[in-house]
Amino acid sequence: MDKKLSLFDMSESRAVIVKLLDMIEKGTGWLLAPKGKRRDFEEGLELYKTHIIEDPDIDGLEKAVKISASRNELRKYINQGKIIEHAAREIKEDAKPEHVDQDWLFYFFEYAKNTSDEELQKIWGRLLAMKVNGSPDVTKRLINTFSVMGADDIEVFCRLCAMTLVSGQEPGEIYPFIYMRNHPSYYNRNGIKRQSLAQLDNLGLIEYDVHEDFVLPKAVPALQYASCKIRLQSGKRVSNGNVRFTGSGRELFRITKAGEKEDFIGHCRRVWDEMGVTCEISEIPQTSNCQKIT
């Protein structure tokens, strides 16, 4: 019997995906190259049990243990297969999977294999694709943090990302504008509460201090939000509220597709007016939806 037990159809995979599958098999030890069409779980479970029973390299006691754990092990196998399928859609043709460290692959799948939620599997797949595409942002620290986030944590984090401006001058600099101390009602209405921010702080994704404000650099950079370029001016340091991202938070922000909130810049303008901060908002060339959020 062919020992490469297969439950997924990747028979038409691109060469770069085939290479990645070979690396995953070497890195994880037991995840075998998917290449079939048996997607039904119960049918797959019986196939997996038969594979164990007929494997001459496994002794009787080990067979009994493996069969007892087969349902859970197969669930993990399928979870990983689905994550790979999601990743395959985003992996570039010129990606170099051979540059991904085997230890990283093992670490990644040790956490990812326990995820059955489809939306979370998509994010895991995006993380894998980013790593294979050469991104330095998908660190073991990020994998560990993401693995302990619940669905509620991820939802709040995405809401936070949708209220974040990025620097138009300094790549990678991002600034959440969360004025929780003086304007909590707006954020509460939008699903961001003090306890949820405290939880993200505990997870190491943000620093949250309801008693003190974080401030922008002295030379305030031009900021971007959706299709808008925003310039802020003040006679003193400009506060961006009570939250800032940690290193892990910045890494996760880069893979989060949070979109934007139509009333967010309007809310910020009212806060800036109260603070005596003047703002100039212009539309980034070749876009057309700036006016809807101003």
What DSSP letter does each residue of 123-137 carry, written as one string? HHHHHHHHHHTT-S-
Residues 6+ apart with CB under 8 A from 174: 164, 165, 166, 167, 245, 250, 253
| Neighbour tally for 139: CB within 10 Å | 15
Which range has the worst mean pLDDT, 62-66, 82-86, 167-171, 245-249?
Answer: 62-66
Kindly state whether residue 10 falls inside one of the protein's structural domains: no
Please, are residues 28 and 109 in contact by the beta-carbon 8 Å criterion?
A: yes
Claim: this prediction has a pTM higher than 0.85: no
Closest CA to 12 of 111, 83, 85: 85
Identity (one letter) of the amino acid at 94? D
Question: What is the domain count for the chain?
Answer: 2
Are residue 139 and residue 157 in the same domain, yes or no?
Answer: no
Q: Are residues 192 and 118 in the same domain?
A: no
pLDDT tens digits, 151-183:
899 999 999 999 999 998 777 799 999 999 999
**Does 165 lie in the same domain as 139?**
no
Q: Which of 123, 147, 171 is the last residue of a domain?
A: 147
Whole-angstrom distance, CA of residue 223 vs CA of residue 176: 11
* Predicted local distance difference test score (pLDDT) of residue 36: 43
Cα–Cα distance, 276 to 204 (Å, whole number)? 32
What is the span of the domain harbouring residue 264?
Answer: 151-293
Same domain assignment for residues 38 and 100: yes
- Note whether 194 and 103 are same-domain residues: no
158 part of a folded domain: yes
